[in-house]
Structure 1
C-alpha cells in the first residue's frame, strides 16, 4: 500500500474514537468501489459476502440508481463520498471510515472487476495489527471442482416453519436463499437466524414474483443447480440431493420432484389428485405432448431443480406470471426453449400444520384459466379460431334451417336474432384468431424485448437514511 494511502488512512482513523475491534470473521466487512464495474459482478460479491455473514459497503454509486437500490435490497450499505469526482484512494478512505464507524474488526477491499474472493486466503492475509487488506481472488479451478447447489425457498408468512426448513435444507445445499414475499410476520428474521441468505420484497408480489427474484439472485450466485423448496414443510429437504444427482446423471435442464411417478410415496387427498390429473392433462395437451411417454406427469410440483442454463433463461424471461400459475408458465417456457425434463419420485406431506391456505378448487380454477390464457396467446387458431368456426357454422346452419321453415310455419324473431348472433360471434372470434396468429408468426411483428428483470427488486424503498458527521450516508440496515 502506498505511503499516500497510509497517510490518508491515518487521517481518517484519527477521526474515529477507540481502538480497532478484535479480528472476528463475522464482524468483517467488504468494501466495493462500484465505479466502472459490471452490476452483475457487484451483486455476486454482495450475495457471496452476506452469505458468509460479512457486511458490505458500496461507494461510487448513486443510492437512487438501479444498482444502488438493488444493492441495498441485497443487504449492502451505500456510502456517499465527499466528492463525486474522488480518486480511488479517496473512495477507499470513505469505505475505511464507514467500516470503522460500523464497528467492524476489519475491512476487505474488493479488487477492480469484482473477481470471486478466496475468503480463506483473504482472512489469512490479515495481520494482527492491520484493519484493511485487499481481497485475494479465487483460483478458477477451486470453485469448479464441485457444483454449487442453491436451495431457494419462496416464503410468505411462514415464520412458524421457515427456520426448520432452512436448517434442513442447509444440510444438502451450499447456500440457502429465502425470498420473503412481503410477509407480515417474522419470516425474514427467523430465516436469517437459521442461516439463510434473505432477500425481501417490500410488498407481496405473489408466488410467481418470488420465483422471479429467486431466478435473478440464483443467476447472480452462479448456481450450478438451483432447487426450489416450499416454505411450509411439505417438501422433504433431503430430496434436494436426489434431484441434483438426477440432474447430474441425466443432463436435463429441469428435474421435477414428482408425485405421480411409480416410486413416489406421496399420499394425496383424492379431490386434489383428480384436480391435478385434469390440470396435467390440459397442460400436456396445450404443449402438444399427446404421447404418454413424453408427458410431464407433475406440472405443478414446486420441488424442482434447474441447471445454470435454465436459471439464466428464466431470470431474463418476461413469461412468468405473478400467481400460482407461474409453475405452469415455467413448464411452457422450458418447453419452448427446448429444455429437457426429468422426473424423480418424491414425498410431499399434506398433513403439515401450516400448509397452503388456498383451496384446491380455487387453485385448480386459476390453473385452468392460466392454461386457457396460454392457448389464447400462443395458439389462437386452436383456442379462438376453432370455437369461433363452430359458432359461425352453427349460426349459418340455424339460419338456413329458419329460412326453410318460412314456407312451412312462421319463424320467430328470436330464432333469427339467435342465428345472427352466432354468426357474428363466430366470425369475430375467427378474425381475432387470425389477427393474433399473424402477430405471433409474421416476421414484421417479431421482436426480442429488452427485458431487464434485475429491476424487479428496485421497488424496495430504503427504510431509513442515517447521516453521520463524517458524511457517510447509510441507506439501509439489515437486522
Structure 2
C-alpha cells in the first residue's frame, strides 16, 4: 500500500530534522511530506539542507490548512493511507504499523493514536486533560461515539476519508471537529494505544492564555458541524 505521512510544520526548527530522520528510518515503508506553513524561523533552510521532501505554502494557513494541503496531496497522488503527525516530535513513527492496522484490515476508516488508553508516556497537563475529557463527552453526546484522545494529531485515514478531508477540514484547532466530520459522513473510527513524548523544543500553538478560547471555539464548532452536516444530509 502507498502510505503518506503528512507533517505540518510552523517554526519547528528545533524538532523538524529529528522528525524527518525518524520517518526515514521507520520500519513501516512510508513516504512523507512536510508542509512548511510559512515558518518565520529557519525551518525551511533545515528542510532544504537535509534534502527533505517538503512544500512551502505561499501564505500561512494555520494547522488546519497545512494538514488539509497534505490530504489534498495524498489524494491527488493516489495514496491508500494518509497519516498525520505533528512536527514537534511528540509522535513516534514506530507506532505507524499499529496505527494503520485497523485500516489495512478493513475494520476502520480512521484510526487515532491515543495516549489515554494505556496511559503511558506523556499525558499532557491536568488542565488540558480536563479539556480533552470535556470535548470527548461533547462528541459522544453529539455523535454517539466515544473517542478518548480527541485532540490527538496522530491519526490515519483510508482513501475515502483522505478525499473528504482534502475537501473539508477545519482550519483552526481541527482535530476534534475532524472527528465529527468523519462520524457524520459514516466513518468507522478506532483508537490504538500509543506512547507520546513531551515537546523537546519550540512552542505549542495552544498557549495557556488561549485555553479558554480554545475550549469555547472548539465546543461551538463541534455543535455547529453536527447541525450543519445533519441539515445538509436532509437536503
Same fold, TM-score > 0.5, yes or no: yes
Q: Which residue of 1 aligns with 2:187?
A: 339
Distance 1:223 1:252, change over 3 A: same
Q: How many Å apart are 1:357 and its aligned residue? A: 4.7
Could you give the per-residue CA deviations for residues 300-319 of structure 1, whole angstroms, max 9, x where no partner exists?
100001111111121123xx
Q: Are the aligned partners of 1:154 and 1:207 in contact in 2 as well (CA < 8 Å)?
A: yes
Corresponding residue to 2:61 among 205, 209, 214: 205
Q: Are the aligned partners of 2:131 and 2:215 in contact in 1 as well (CA < 8 Å)?
A: no
1-side partners of 2:131 and 2:209: how far apart?
8
SS at match of 1:286: helix
Q: Which residue of 2 aligns with 1:356?
A: 204
Between 1 and 2, higher relative CO (CA 8 Å, sep ≥ 6) is seen in: 2
Moved over 4 A (4+): none
Q: Which residue of 1 aligns with 2:10?
A: 156
Scaled by the length of structure 2, what TM-score is found?
0.88
Q: Which residue of 1 aligns with 2:20?
A: 166
After superposition, the CA RMSD in angstroms is 2.3
Q: Which runs of 5 or more residues in structure 1 are unaligned?
A: 1-146, 381-436, 447-479
Q: Which residue of 1 aligns with 2:155?
A: 304
Equivalences for residues 38-117 of structure 1 within 5 A: none
1-side partners of 2:87 and 2:164: how far apart?
24
SS at match of 2:186: coil
Equivalences for residues 257-272 of structure 1 within 5 A: 257-262=113-118, 264-272=120-128
2-side partners of 1:245 and 1:441: how far apart?
32
Q: How many Å apart are 1:216 and its aligned residue? A: 0.5
Corresponding residue to 2:176 among 328, 336, 339: 328
Could you give the per-residue CA deviations for residues 12-55 of structure 1, whole angstroms, max 9, x where no partner exists?
xxxxxxxxxxxxxxxxxxxxxxxxxxxxxxxxxxxxxxxxxxxx
Distance 1:360 1:200, change over 3 A: same
Q: Which residue of 1 aligns with 2:166?
A: 315
Could you give the per-residue CA deviations for residues 307-360 of structure 1, whole angstroms, max 9, x where no partner exists?
11111121123xx23211x11221111101101111011112225222415324
Scaled by the length of structure 1, what TM-score is found?
0.45
Distance 1:374 1:155, change over 3 A: same
Distance 1:377 1:342, change over 3 A: closer
SS at match of 2:88: coil
1-side partners of 2:58 and 2:224: how far apart?
33
Distance 1:284 1:191, change over 3 A: farther
Equivalences for residues 119-158 of structure 1 within 5 A: 147-158=1-12
Could you give the per-residue CA deviations for residues 412-458 of structure 1, whole angstroms, max 9, x where no partner exists?
xxxxxxxxxxxxxxxxxxxxxxxxx9xx3696xx3xxxxxxxxxxxx
2-side partners of 1:264 and 1:364: how far apart?
27
Equivalences for residues 164-313 of structure 1 within 5 A: 164-172=18-26, 173-262=29-118, 264-287=120-143, 289=144, 294-313=145-164
Equivalences for residues 422-437 of structure 1 within 5 A: none
Q: How many positions carry a matched residue from both structures?
A: 232
Distance 1:372 1:358, change over 3 A: closer
Which has the larger Rg? 1
Q: Which residue of 1 aligns with 2:218?
A: 370
